[in-house]
């Protein structure tokens, strides 16, 4: 994907159908790390990054030698954030479609928590305009 194409994708609202999931396979002191596609229930989010996640083999060695990761191939993907405050997830280039309506997670406060917060903030000093210091 060229830079111009990647720049046009940034911030687009997309509906995700497939995510990439990292898998590990252990054998003879080695770990094979691979990203594989996983079908999900469609969700809408925003593209925040164009990237290549890497597959490879992780060699765990003795205590004297540092571990080593050898890259075998790279998978092009986009990172999609479903919420502004949540970690983005990798999505393959064929795992999304443009458009959608995002689901906004709203935290509901119970009346008990609201009353407790009001009692706490009642003692906090304010300026003439009512703002907290």
Q: CA–CA separation, 16 vs 40, rounded Å?
A: 8
The predicted structure's pLDDT at residue 29: 67
Q: Is residue 36 part of a domain?
A: yes
Total domains in the fold of the chain: 1
The predicted structure's pLDDT at residue 21: 93
Q: Is residue 107 part of a domain?
A: no
Q: Report the mean per-residue pLDDT for the chain.
A: 88
Q: What is the residue range of 10's domain?
A: 3-100
Q: Is residue 66 part of a domain?
A: yes
Q: Is residue 128 part of a domain?
A: no
Residue 58 pLDDT > 70, yes or no?
A: yes
Q: Is residue 71 part of a domain?
A: yes
Q: Is residue 108 part of a domain?
A: no
Q: Is residue 113 part of a domain?
A: no
């Amino acid at each position: 994907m060229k830079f111009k194409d990647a720049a046009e994708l940034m911030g687009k609202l997309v509906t995700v159908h497939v995510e990439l999931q990292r898998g590990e396979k252990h054998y003879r002191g080695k770990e094979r790390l691979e990203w594989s596609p996983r079908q999900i229930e469609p969700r809408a989010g925003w593209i925040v990054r164009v990237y290549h996640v890497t597959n490879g083999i992780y060699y765990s060695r003795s205590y004297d030698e540092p571990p080593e990761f050898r890259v075998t191939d790279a998978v092009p993907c986009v990172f999609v954030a479903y919420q502004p405050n949540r970690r983005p997830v990798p999505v393959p280039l064929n795992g999304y479609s443009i458009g959608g309506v995002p689901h906004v997670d709203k935290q509901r406060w119970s009346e008990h928590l609201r009353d407790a917060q009001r009692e706490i903030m009642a003692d906090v000093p304010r300026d003439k305009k009512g703002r907290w210091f």
